[in-house]
Amino acid sequence: MLQITFLLLSFLMVSTALAEDIPSVEEPIIVSATRWETSGIPTSSSIKVITRDQIIDSGANNVTEVLQGQGGVQISDLFGDGSRSIIDMRGFGSTGSANTLILIDGRRINNTDLASPRLNNIFVKDIERIEITQGSSAVLYGDQAVGGVVNIITRRPSEFEAGIELGYGSYDYQSQTGHISHKFENGTGVRVSGERKRSDGYRVNNDTSYDNGFINLSYEGDRSWIFAEYQRTDEDLELPGALTQAQLDVSRKQTLFPDDFNDSTNEVARIGGAFSITPNWDFAAEYTYSKDDVNGVLTGLSLTQDRRKKAFNPRVKGVINIADRPLTVVVGGDIERTDYILVSPFGAQIGDQEMDSVYTLATLPINDYVSITGGFRKAWLDQGLNDGFRFFPGDVIKDSQTANSIGLTIKPVAAWRLFLKREENYRFPLLDEEMNVFTMTTTLETQTGVSIEAGTEWHNNWLQTSLVGYHMDIDNEINVDPNAFFENINLDKTEHTGLIYEIDVYPAEQLTIGAQYTYTDTEITAGTFAGNDIPLVAEHQLLLNANYHFMNYWNLYAEIFFISDRNAGGDFTGSLTELDGYEVANLNLKFDYGHFSVSAKVNNLLDEEYNGSASVDFFGAVGFFPAPERNFILTAGYNF
């Protein structure tokens, strides 16, 4: 922490010297800071915005490609196509997906079981921007918002827009996408999109089939906005599984389980809206119903899985004048109901979960330069469990947790922001985590923690940069121990410390050069594995990129990503074979003329042989997930 403090102070002194004479740029619209659209970041949080133009210029084919290498975000990609990825913020490794909250327009897509959020269900062309909130956000978002929040904001209907796009690439990749959107003069809007993808995949038994349809109807008045939407996604995946090092040496493309697959159907229906109660008070709410039906074979064992989830999320926002200072208050509640069934050769796991929360967040400017933020959340959990082994019909686990936060924000000038925040966090055990504990007399403890972070941000018309340092203490961190036949366990105490530095330079109107460096240090500080690192967490990560617009119609985007060695998932002692670090370069060339656009992207330009993830298998050996070698995707589109 002394090194982090020194770097922060050094950066602050440099920022002070520079900020005096350089004009700032317009503040972006942010939702994630308060769960309302707000100009700038009114709270003591670090939030990175990835714009629609940046996503398009990069040629990203899925959300995983957009997030790869972003400051504070580590990704473990099982198959290299984004279909099964662990998004990890703040260094939780194998359980990163349960400690990083993923939202679509504020709707959580994290599961109440160990399955990672399905990022492939998001049509990239529907994304308006992505907001990445660094650090604990439990007061606003509750359970699982431990390491950070990724909020994917989709587009709203505006003027008429329609387009089609065709893609072709390596491994017989084929895609067809289309969308149409329009907002009528009476305020009524409609947006419809569809996507179809097919691929043979890099490896044997790696075929993918993906169909996604989405429709949104909305009405926007002077002081109100309402919407209704529906999405259906059908995804059929063949699963090539992991390989030992000896098997990799024979063939990186082989599979040991040629009959493994995962077929799923996901449906989401949602209604909601917002309106002004008075000039100073607004109300918003959404109701969501989603269901997942899964059928598959994993390591030769058949399984079916069903999830049903309902959520209601009302909230109000108001401004109260205190001594001529506007106190902004957000008060809300989150009500969630989940039904879960997993059937495998080991029997059935049946669970139902009720989670209710209330929260409030307030921001008060002390003067024109300093503001304080405070918040509080109370959450109640009821889990009904039945696995025919430890739990039987009528068995219920109850728990409740609180989280509070306090923060300070200083803006000496419009271009410069400093912040300091302390926030508590919590993560309830997932349904199948609780049922994957084989000790008959104990249950998992709820994971709790405290995060302290400080940072500074500075931006103007030619430079944007930020530095964030953090330290997090976690009690009862939940993870999985493969030595106990993949039993879920509580780690007594852990520490997560890190540093995130980001810089974008605009030396010319047509050119952007950026760098993002992440340092992550994790340690188990008590219990059986005391003194060891959290597995599957890299200490160093660096992304370098450049984006160049030239000759009016052309755009060239290049990036190179570095990540250091990691212990394989489940290797708490660090005694097994490591997951080697690697560097990967990607290049995208785009031509955009009038209604036509063509994009040619090369992934893994240097043809690096690397593994996207690794974990300890049933027999105590390390299994690796080989990533694709050099591959390309060519897309051509027409906008009407």
Q: What is the pLDDT of residue 26?
A: 65
% of residues, the chain, pLDDT over 70: 95
What does each C-alpha distance from 166 to 178, 203, 516 come to in angstroms? 9, 24, 32
Q: What is the DSSP letter of 314?
A: -
**pTM, rounded to two decimals:** 0.94
Are 56 and 547 in contact by the 8 Å Cβ rule? The answer is no
Looking at the DSSP bridge assignments, the partners of residue 513 are 505, 546
Closest CA to 467 of 455, 454, 453, 452: 455
Distance from C-alpha of 541 to C-alpha of 561, rounded to nearest angstrom: 8
Residue 16 has pLDDT above 70, yes or no: no
Candidates 1.10.10.10, 2.40.170.20, 3.40.50.1580, 1.10.3720.10; CATH matching 2-639 = 2.40.170.20
Determine the Cα–Cα distance for residues 303 and 298; give it in Å rounded to an integer: 7
DSSP state of 446: P
**What are the tens digits of pLDDT across the range 509-568?**
999 999 999 999 999 999 989 999 999 999 999 999 999 999 999 999 999 999 999 999
User: What pLDDT does residue 293 have?
Assistant: 96
Structure tokens at 529: 């594995």
- Tell whether the model's pLDDT for residue 154 goes beyond 60: yes
The CA–CA distances, whole Å, from 335 to 106, 312, 394 equal 14, 5, 22
Instruction: Give the C-alpha separation, 31 to 57, whole Å.
Output: 23
Question: What local confidence, expressed as pLDDT, does residue 159 receive?
Answer: 87
Q: Quick check: 540 and 99 in contact, CB under 8 A?
A: no
Structure-token pair, residue 292: 């997942």
List, in sequence order, the alpha helices (H) in 392-519. 431-435
Rounded Cα gap, residues 478 and 373, in angstroms: 30
pLDDT tens column, 345-381: 989 999 999 999 999 999 999 999 999 999 999 999 9
Q: How far is CA 5 from CA 454, 455, 457, 471, in A?
A: 9, 10, 15, 11
Which pLDDT score is estimated for 5?
43
Confidence band, pLDDT 50/70/90 cuts, at residue 276: very high
Q: How many angstroms separate the Cα of 603 from the Cα of each of 77, 514, 599?
A: 14, 19, 13
What pLDDT sits at residue 383? 95
The residue-averaged pLDDT of 452-478 equals: 96
Q: How many CA atoms lie within 13 A of 67 on its CB side?
A: 29
Q: How many whole angstroms separate alpha carbon 420 and alpha carbon 449?
A: 17
* CA diameter of the chain: 74
**Section 240-257 average pLDDT:** 95
pLDDT band at residue 79 under the 50/70/90 scheme: confident
- Of residues 455 and 620, the one with the higher pLDDT is 455
The candidate with the shortest Cα–Cα distance to 541, out of 206, 67, 207, is 67
Cα 382 to its chain centre, rounded Å, is 26
Count the Cβ atoms, other than its own, within 10 Å of residue 134. Answer: 26
- Please tell me the predicted confidence (pLDDT) of residue 485: 67
Alpha-helix runs per DSSP H in 447-582: none
CA distances in angstroms from 449 to 6, 382, 422, 471, listed in the order given: 25, 21, 11, 11
| 3-state secondary structure (DSSP) of residue 247 | helix
Report pLDDT for 39: 85
What residue ranges do the domains of the chain occupy?
2-639
From residue 319, give the alpha-carbon distance in Å to each of 2, 328, 330, 387, 404: 39, 5, 9, 49, 21
- pLDDT bin (cut points 50, 70, 90) of residue 25 is low
What does the pLDDT read at residue 4? 42
Q: Is residue 334 very low, low, confident or very high in pLDDT (cuts 50, 70, 90)?
A: very high
pLDDT of residue 443: 84
Give the model's pLDDT for residue 493. Answer: 97
Looking at the chain, the whole-number percentage of residues with pLDDT higher than 90 is: 83
- Containing 626, the helix (H) or strand (E) segment is strand 622-626
- pLDDT at residue 11, as a whole number: 41
End-to-end CA distance of the chain: 54
Mean pLDDT in the chain? 92
pLDDT tens readout for residues 415-454: 999 999 999 999 999 998 998 876 666 789 999 999 999 9
Residue 551: count other Cβ atoms within 10 Å of its Cβ: 8
Mean pLDDT of 316-322: 95
**Where is 99: in which H helix or E strand?**
helix 96-99
